[in-house]
Amino acid sequence: MLETGLTLPDFLDTAAILCGALVGAMGATRKDLDWLGVFIVAFCTGVGGGLVRDVLLQSGTPVILQHPSYQLYAGIGAVAGIFFAKGAARFNRAYQALDTLMIGVWVILACAKAQTVGLTPIAVIVVGTIAAIGGGMVRDILIHETAAVVQAGYWYTLCAFGAAIMFVALSGLGTPLAVAQIAAIVTASGMRWASLHYHIRTPTPYDMTDQTLRLLHLDRL
């Protein structure tokens, strides 16, 4: 039960933490870390999104510290990753499907909590987006890689951003909470699927300085 007005299967958050920890372990093992290093990276990846959200909101003790079950799930995923990282990689498609679904779930959890502390709509969108990508960011920082969620590639951060906008917009229009939440999940999942299926990637920055100077006839100054 998610305490945001919408009932979702209890296994979703459990599976997301477990899978997040496994993916963190797979990333850590590629860096030849020792078992404790792999465990730390995996554990932090599993709980990273919720922890980042609660730190941003500063609205009390982070949820991960209040619910031992979440710590247990992250620990189980981390230990499994230490011993079975290669085996877990065989289920990459299943993870990708779950991860796609969970983008929207983490967005609505973060946005709903941000709304309860009275943040403005823009701030709610920011918190929802960052929370959804928090686990991946924590993992990449710990293993000294450029965060994958901010690199050019298939949509991920953009999906979270789109879902957060959808949730905040519908909430602001007075749409029933359950409808806004479902719409956010569908938005994130649909955008992610379209990006992967049609090979749509985020572009790299395009510097238009030279073209602008020529247009304004300032290139010879």
Per-residue model confidence as pLDDT tens digits over 62-88 = 988 898 998 999 999 899 888 887 776
Question: What pLDDT score was predicted for residue 35?
Answer: 92
119: pLDDT strictly greater than 70: yes
**What b/e sequence results for 145-165 when a residue is b if at least 16 CB atoms lie within 10 Å of its CB, and e otherwise?**
eeebbeeeebbbbbbbbbbbb
Angstrom distance (rounded) from CA 149 to CA 152: 8
**What confidence tier does 1 reach under pLDDT thresholds 50, 70, 90?**
very low
Average pLDDT over residues 131-136: 91
What percent of the chain has pLDDT above 70? Answer: 91
pLDDT at 41 over 70: yes
Using alpha carbons, select from 16, 35, 2 the residue that is nearest to residue 136.
Answer: 16
pLDDT of the residue at 9: 61
CA angle centred on 110, ends 28 and 194, rounded to 5°: 70
| CA–CA distance, 20 with 16 (Å, rounded to integer) | 6
Look at residues 50, 44, 15 and name the one whose alpha carbon lies nearest to residue 27: 44
pLDDT range class, residue 8, cuts 50, 70, 90? low
pLDDT in tens, 50-61: 899 999 998 888
What's the whole-number mean pLDDT along residues 106-131? 94
Q: 2: which strand partners?
A: 6
Q: 37 near 43, Cβ under 8 Å?
A: no
Reported confidence tier of residue 93, pLDDT bands at 50, 70, 90: confident
Phi first, then psi, for residue 6 (nearest 5°) are: -130, 130
Structure confidence at residue 219 (pLDDT): 67
Residue scoring higher pLDDT (116 or 94): 116
Spatial CB neighbours of 44, under 8 Å, sequence gap ≥ 6: 24, 51, 135, 138, 139, 142
C-alpha angle 20-14-158 in degrees, rounded to nearest 5:
50
Average the pLDDT over 94-112 and give the result. Answer: 83
Q: Domain spans of the chain? A: 11-204
**Average pLDDT of the chain?**
87
More confident residue, 201 or 7: 201
φ, ψ (nearest 5 deg) of residue 208:
-110, 20
pLDDT, residue 169, reads 97
Average pLDDT over residues 204-213: 86
> What is the residue type of 108?
I
**For residue 141, with 0-12 CB atoms within 10 Å meaning exposed, 13-18 middle and 19 or more buried, which class applies?**
middle
| Contact between 22 and 95 (Cβ < 8 Å) | yes
Residue 136 pLDDT greater than 90, yes or no:
no
